[in-house]
């Protein structure tokens, strides 16, 4: 029997207490990885790790603020101590804030916080993890980006941060590749997560803009992350993988408008 794809792997995930991060932690653990579930909310991380253990997987949890270099370095050290190695880093933690009605009314502190967590957070985590990923001989970093990093869907700071993260993915891939570490990014479209709680009608309307006729689920992104983190993607680095139901490739709204006007 073929061993699980991540048998003997150790993975660290940020922002993994719920949503995409939690689904990805469950997926990696289900395929054999020992996972360190981290989140700003310690209780949320603990619940996710407990559910993984109840399902037969190996998981620990830890509170981590990716805005703090000290916290990030302590978290990476914890993973290596707990599991004896580190093979996979998934940078999923992010921050966001609503745009002001007028751009000139945007707030410096909100802008800075969104960029710090969403872009500088992965920078801090990757910097701390990289030596251990090199040592593993099969290290992989998977960043969670967004379609917002490629096209206008609103969110000035969030979109700028996700675009910057795609750029960091490429430059870090160039640096880390000769050291045996791959770096890639998954760019999700609209995903049914807690961020959309209470907005079912908005999600229903959004579904009609997707060529595949639905919004995404966290498990859709987890599957893509698992692929990019695994040996199945051994010759892939520096790439952005859109997991967006065709949103960026097909202008469904325009096509519908043309049909309705015919």
Domain tally, the chain: 1
Annotation marks residue 94 as catalytic: no
Lowest mean pLDDT among 14-23, 39-48, 243-252: 243-252
Active-site entry in 9, 123, 158, 210: 158
> What is the torsion angle, in degrees rounded to the nearest 10, for the CA atoms of residue 152, residue 93, residue 233 and residue 139?
140
Specify if 206 maps to a domain.
Answer: no
**Domain around 53:** 10-193+217-246
> Is the per-residue pLDDT at 78 higher than 90?
yes
Please indicate whether residue 186 or residue 255 has the higher confidence score (pLDDT): 186
Specify if 103 maps to a domain.
Answer: yes
Write the CATH number for 33. Answer: 3.40.50.720
Q: For a pLDDT cut of 70, what percent of the chain falls above it?
A: 100
Q: What pLDDT, on a 0 to 100 scale, did the predictor assign at position 99?
A: 93
Q: What pLDDT, on a 0 to 100 scale, did the predictor assign at position 36?
A: 98
Supply the pTM of this predicted model.
0.95
d(CA 35, CA 12): 6
Average of per-residue pLDDT across 241-262: 86
> Is the per-residue pLDDT at 196 higher than 90?
no
Q: What pLDDT, on a 0 to 100 scale, did the predictor assign at position 262?
A: 65
Q: What pLDDT, on a 0 to 100 scale, did the predictor assign at position 210?
A: 93
Average of per-residue pLDDT across 93-106: 94
Measure CA 176 to chain center. 19
Q: Looking up tokens 């599991």, which residue turns up?
A: 83
CB of 116 within 8 A of CB of 257?
A: no
Specify if 124 maps to a domain.
Answer: yes
> What is the torsion angle, in degrees rounded to the nearest 10, for the CA atoms of residue 130, residue 134, residue 136 and residue 141?
50
């Amino acid at each position: 029997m073929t061993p699980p794809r991540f048998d003997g792997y150790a993975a660290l995930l940020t922002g993994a207490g719920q949503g995409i991060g939690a689904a990805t932690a469950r997926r990696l653990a289900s395929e054999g990885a020992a996972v360190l579930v981290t989140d700003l909310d310690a209780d949320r991380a603990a619940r996710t790790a407990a559910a993984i253990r109840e399902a037969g997987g190996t998981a620990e949890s830890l509170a981590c603020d990716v805005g703090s270099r000290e916290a990030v370095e302590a978290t990476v050290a914890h993973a290596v101590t707990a599991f004896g190695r580190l093979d996979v880093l998934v940078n999923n933690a992010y921050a966001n804030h609503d745009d002001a009605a007028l751009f000139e009314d945007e707030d410096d502190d909100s802008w800075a916080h969104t960029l710090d967590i969403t872009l500088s957070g992965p920078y801090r985590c990757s910097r701390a993890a990289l030596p251990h990923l090199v040592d593993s001989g099969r290290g992989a970093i998977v960043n969670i980006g967004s379609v917002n990093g490629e096209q206008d869907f609103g969110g000035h700071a969030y979109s700028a941060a996700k675009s910057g993260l795609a750029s960091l993915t490429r430059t870090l891939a160039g640096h880390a590749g000769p050291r045996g570490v791959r770096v890639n990014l998954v760019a999700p479209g609209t995903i049914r997560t807690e961020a959309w709680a209470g907005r079912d009608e908005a999600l229903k309307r959004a579904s009609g803009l997707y060529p595949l006729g639905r919004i995404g689920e966290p498990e859709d992104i987890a599957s893509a992350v698992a692929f990019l983190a695994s040996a199945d993607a051994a010759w892939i680095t520096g790439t952005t993988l859109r997991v967006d139901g065709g949103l960026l490739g097909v202008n469904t709204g325009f096509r519908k408008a043309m049909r309705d006007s015919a």
